[in-house]
Structure 1
């Protein structure tokens, strides 16, 4: 272990995991930056306990898929101990291999020292039960985009984590207020919407629930900036900011394909060259995951009550057929696996 490191939950970390040179949860009693007395306590715990922790040292990440593994990599590289949870041992092994390869590529390019690379890898510990996250300071879930499943997880996390733990969701569309209502600590529930792949995409969308405290919001915003992210803040409306705008465009691209307005190649080329998008909407949908796109559109449709968000039947059919995009080898496009027989307007 390197000089000055210590362990948290059995994972080696740097002496401090701070944000912008400042502690996360500071008491505001005492003198402020202007030298005047500020006796307002920094209360963020649901039971009114004073927040005294000076740092977030341990981060739990639930879900070892592409999003979860990317978030785990970011937190480890920022100096935090990471507890990566997934019920599937194969998924965990695959995630650790992917994270290790990604960090070593950065080291090979000179963007990260070899020592920092290896230290980051050592900070990640794989765990198999929610109970293993009981002492985490921050837990970020990156599981299936299903409200009921997420609520059940939050109920369990609320029971087993320490009172000061912040519970965050990587949801791309589901109400943070409703997720928070499943817990006894809604003031400590917040949305942290990373974009795929998390180590590369610079944006993070932070969503406050109706009860999210100012202190938790400030801490998570600072932590996100420590991860190297540009932060945008959204109110708790269906789809938030990015997907409120993006998903209708993707849906319209499916309608254009479904009704024969153009081929998938022409639709994507038109948007890439005509609007300077780096990826066409159908290619982007494959990259996001067609199941995720469908889930977000359903949230938008149900939450806003506007039929313009109603998912295109072709998108629904692709998902029903298991054509989920790049992660499955086939979606709108084929990625080296045998394509299914689903074609625009077929058997509908």
Structure 2
């Protein structure tokens, strides 16, 4: 039996009630080998467990006793595990960006027991993110539990602090020049074995990693909003991305309780190539007068069984981001998509960016159709 501080991670092989370093609560850890006699997958989110799927294992100990254990890792019945390894199988994740996506990745990382280093350009942005993260955690956890998670987060405005991370995820504006500059800095401050992942939704991984000393550790790790609910992560392999990097990405996806797929470094990858082709075509149909916003949305919901129509989805994503992705796909050498429509461009120019601004294709202040 070992003893482990849930706050700072220190351990002892003799009984301790409170950590002498941080006064945190010390827990017993059973280090003996257990056999998985049964396991069920839970796929319905609750307030206590908003991230799904997770698994409940029935474990048989060496003395014949049984215990239940929750985990985000999928195992086979009959597998032998050490509970200590389950406890410590966490890492420190560096996250660059404090927008909706960066904040979502941070929340998921904390809820799954990982430590994070959150980097933004300003202290004000970091304080705002901390406030929003705290409020989200308080919805399903008590104050003490929330504070224990938040204590696993450190914040910074410089890149040097990210050198302590085991894995880094960049989530900033969809601008190739900006991302290339960030990765140039990371390439110089991080150890060669640290994976540098970008959450780009449409830019080329190979172009981002071009000219770096260690391009083999650069990879795409594309999350989907809302990140606390959406289970998919696209892992994007660049021209020089190594198999070891891809393996680490699959492992980090499991640690975050997500399901991953592997895609080549092609325009839009898998989801966005299909999704924004649909959104852009809907915009062209609207501009040509084929049908109205509401009718097109209704057609896709009732005729194709989509949970929401293309205009509702565009408003949820953000019309500025939609415009950026469509233009990125249009500018690519494969020429897979038409340019963005005048209607979309005009909405973005006026600041009507969708739900986040209160108005887009729909007016969310009055719940009226805008176009």
Is 1:81 paired with 2:110?
no
Is 1:197 paired with 2:226?
yes
Q: Contact 1:61/1:141 (CA < 8 Å) preserved in 2?
A: yes
Q: Contact 1:290/1:324 (CA < 8 Å) preserved in 2?
A: yes
Provide the rounded CA distance (Å) in 2 between the counterparts of 1:241 and 1:77: 28
Instruction: Specify the alignment match of 1:29 in structure 2.
Output: none
Provide the rounded CA distance (Å) in 2 between the counterparts of 1:115 and 1:221: 32
Note the 1:179-328 alignment, pairs <5 A. 179-306=208-335, 308-328=337-357
Give how far 1:97 is off. Answer: 2.1
Is 1:103 paired with 2:105?
no
* Structure 1, 303-312 or 142-151: larger mean CA deviation: 303-312
Instruction: Specify the alignment match of 1:63 in structure 2.
Output: 97
Provide the rounded CA distance (Å) in 2 between the counterparts of 1:168 and 1:146: 15
- The SS at the match of 1:324 is coil
Distance 1:292 1:182, change over 3 A: farther
Instruction: Specify the alignment match of 1:163 in structure 2.
Output: 192
Q: Contact 1:154/1:182 (CA < 8 Å) preserved in 2?
A: no
Distance 1:236 1:297, change over 3 A: same
TM-score (norm 2): 0.74
Give how far 1:21 is off. Answer: 9.1
Give how far 1:267 is off. Answer: 1.5
What 5-or-longer segments of structure 1 have no aligned partner?
23-53, 109-113
State which of 130, 140, 145 in structure 1 corresponds to 2:169.
140
Q: Contact 2:90/2:255 (CA < 8 Å) preserved in 1?
A: no
Give how far 1:56 is off. Answer: 5.9
Provide the rounded CA distance (Å) in 1 between the counterparts of 2:309 and 2:185: 40
Instruction: Specify the alignment match of 1:91 in structure 2.
Output: 125
What 5-or-longer segments of structure 2 have no aligned partner?
11-21, 30-70, 76-87
Indicate the structure with greater strand content: 2
Q: Contact 1:56/1:137 (CA < 8 Å) preserved in 2?
A: no
Provide the rounded CA distance (Å) in 1 between the counterparts of 2:211 and 2:9: 32
Q: Contact 1:77/1:116 (CA < 8 Å) preserved in 2?
A: no
Distance 1:89 1:273, change over 3 A: farther
Larger radius of gyration: 2
* Structure 1, 91-100 or 66-75: larger mean CA deviation: 91-100
- Per-residue deviation, residues 279-337 of structure 1 (Å, max 9, x unmatched): 11111111111121112112221224436432222112222222222222222122339
Is 1:126 paired with 2:155?
yes
TM-score (norm 1): 0.78
Provide the rounded CA distance (Å) in 2 between the counterparts of 1:115 and 1:225: 26
Distance 1:183 1:335, change over 3 A: farther
Q: Contact 2:192/2:217 (CA < 8 Å) preserved in 1?
A: no
Distance 1:226 1:290, change over 3 A: same
Distance 1:326 1:90, change over 3 A: farther
Provide the rounded CA distance (Å) in 1 between the counterparts of 2:192 and 2:74: 25
- The SS at the match of 2:164 is coil
- The SS at the match of 1:167 is strand
Provide the rounded CA distance (Å) in 1 between the counterparts of 2:195 and 2:97: 17
Give how far 1:57 is off. Answer: 2.5
Is 1:72 paired with 2:101?
no
Distance 1:269 1:74, change over 3 A: same
